[in-house]
Amino acid sequence: MIKIYSGSDVDKKVRDIVSQEIFFDKKKEEQVRAIIEDVRTNGDAAVIKYTKKYDGAELKADEIKLTSKEINDAYKNVGDDYLRTLKTAIKNITSYHKRQRADEWFETLPDDVILGMRNIPIDSVGVYVPSGTASYPSSVLMNVIPASVAGVKEIVMATPPAKNGKCDPHILVAAAEVGVGNIFKVGGCQAIAALAFGTETIPKVDKIVGPGNIYVTMAKKAVFGQVGIDKLAGPSDILIIADEDSEPEFIAADMLSQAEHDEDSAAVLISTSMSVAKKTQKEIMKQIKLLKRSRIAKASIEKNGCIFVVDKLKKAVEISNKIAPEHLEILSSPPQNLLEKIRNAGAVFLGPHSPVVVGDYLAGPNHVLPTSGSARFSSPLSVYDFIKKQSIVGFTKPALRSMLPDIKIFADVEGFDAHARSAEIRFKS
């Protein structure tokens, strides 16, 4: 059963949550690095070997890349309702991300000095989409659409096959609908390594994005520097702020919606009402029995779930900002009163009719969010993650002459005489 904390126990439990570290098992990390090195050295042969070992699928080199026939067949295995829903989601997500395009700027200063900033899309991106215990077509949309809006020229996708060598049709159709032409049947560490270094079949990319299990996350960490990555994603989490008028049935359902992701997922409620806390506690135990993934949700709730009862909403906001949740629901009324005080949260959902699930799928904002407290310094995945900034500097001779004394002072302080000379030499005559 989920535990309720009040009084002095609240601050102690909050400290425990905040002090938790993202832990990478050294033995697993060694396994990951060995797989990466094997793929880097042996290319397709290593990919085929690990696909058989971990996914149970026996592939030949010419079967790693999906054919147009396989993608067309996928359409036959999804319903019309799914296609309609998919198109609605694509429309909403695209509309939201189109608002993120940042303008370039240039300015002319005295002595005709030109300064500016250019936006240049990354050339190529690899999107990893997990499959197996669940299907994640929404992850296809959330990772591909902002890259497309940013203007990325080449977007490829990797997703693991089932034992029969086929990929999830819902994932394939989602990829086709957002224009991904190159899709590869590969998952896990071997997929990340293949995208980072390239193989005979799979192209090397400049950045890798997309969720995955602990092995995928460790692989992304290991190849960072060789390629860019979106973030090191931990388990999903949710924090809910509620008052005495909040509905325990809604709260319990929303907490379980994230708990069903993974046994390491976290669900936290902060309420100003002990009555709401106790009713939510009972609702969680009642609703958890109805879930298909009840075992996972129960393990998550027992391990990482908790309920805090505090005297004032001000204290609830203080705790929330310390925990820095991935998803924050404000169910106190009116929710807008607390919004400006929220500094650390990946996404904020306002009011009783804005459950996280609407943001997961259809609202438009990205559902790839900072986890494990990283909302203190990180942001949702966006168009900006697929654009490089380029500084522009253009000086005239008079402008450089006017700065020469200050250049020489800095160079002298830092002990770099060649720095000073590179400016002075232009006025030697």
Percent of the chain with pLDDT over 70: 99
pLDDT above 90 for 204: yes
Assign 149 a pLDDT band (cuts: 50, 70, 90).
very high
Nearest residue to 209 (alpha-carbon basis) of 138, 149, 121, 127 = 127
Judgement on whether residues 243 and 218 belong to the same structural domain of the protein: no
pLDDT above 80 for 183: yes
Active-site residue list: 326-327
Judgement on whether residues 112 and 69 belong to the same structural domain of the protein: yes
Instruction: Give the mean pLDDT of 372-394.
Output: 96
Nearest residue to 70 (alpha-carbon basis) of 82, 81, 80, 59 = 59
| Residue where a domain stops, chosen among 181, 205, 229 | 229
From the number of C-beta atoms within 10 Å of its C-beta (0-12, 13-18, 19+), residue 240 rates as buried
Which tokens belong to 77?
Answer: 């295995």
What pLDDT is stored for residue 428 in this prediction? 86
Which tokens belong to 1?
Answer: 């059963």
pLDDT above 80 for 127: yes
pLDDT above 90 for 133: no
Instruction: Give the mean pLDDT of 82-105.
Output: 95
Interval 41-65: pLDDT, tens: 999 999 999 999 999 999 999 999 9
Tell me the residue range of the domain where 271 lies: 3-22+235-363
| Residue where a domain stops, chosen among 185, 213, 229 | 229
Flag whether 16 is in a domain.
yes
pLDDT above 80 for 429: no
| Residue where a domain stops, chosen among 207, 229, 251 | 229
Flag whether 376 is in a domain.
no
When the pLDDT of each residue in the chain is averaged and rounded to a whole number, the result is 95
Q: Which helix (H) or strand (E) holds 356?
A: helix 356-361
Judgement on whether residues 405 and 298 belong to the same structural domain of the protein: no
What pLDDT is stored for residue 70 in this prediction? 96
Instruction: Give the mean pLDDT of 17-38.
Output: 88
What pLDDT is stored for residue 371 in this prediction? 94
Judgement on whether residues 18 and 30 belong to the same structural domain of the protein: no
Judgement on whether residues 39 and 74 belong to the same structural domain of the protein: yes
Judgement on whether residues 184 and 292 belong to the same structural domain of the protein: no
Interval 235-260: pLDDT, tens: 999 999 999 999 999 999 999 999 99
Sheet containing 387-394, strands listed edge to edge, beginning at the edge strand earlier in sequence: 105-109, 113-121, 387-394
From the number of C-beta atoms within 10 Å of its C-beta (0-12, 13-18, 19+), residue 259 rates as buried
Assign 217 a pLDDT band (cuts: 50, 70, 90).
very high
Domains held by the chain: number = 3
Flag whether 46 is in a domain.
yes
Q: Is the peptide bond before 334 cis (omega within 30 degrees of 0)?
A: yes
Neighbours of 362 (CB within 10 A): 16
| CATH assignment at residue 295 | 3.40.50.1980
Flag whether 137 is in a domain.
yes
pTM beyond 0.75: the answer is yes
What pLDDT is stored for residue 143 in this prediction? 98
What pLDDT is stored for residue 316 in this prediction? 98
Instruction: Give the mean pLDDT of 327-331.
Output: 98
Interval 395-411: pLDDT, tens: 999 999 999 999 999 99
What pLDDT is stored for residue 23 in this prediction? 62
Judgement on whether residues 282 and 308 belong to the same structural domain of the protein: yes
Judgement on whether residues 166 and 152 belong to the same structural domain of the protein: yes
Flag whether 353 is in a domain.
yes
Q: In whole angstroms, what is the distance from residue 391 CA to residue 409 CA?
A: 24
Judgement on whether residues 51 and 182 belong to the same structural domain of the protein: yes
Judgement on whether residues 216 and 254 belong to the same structural domain of the protein: no
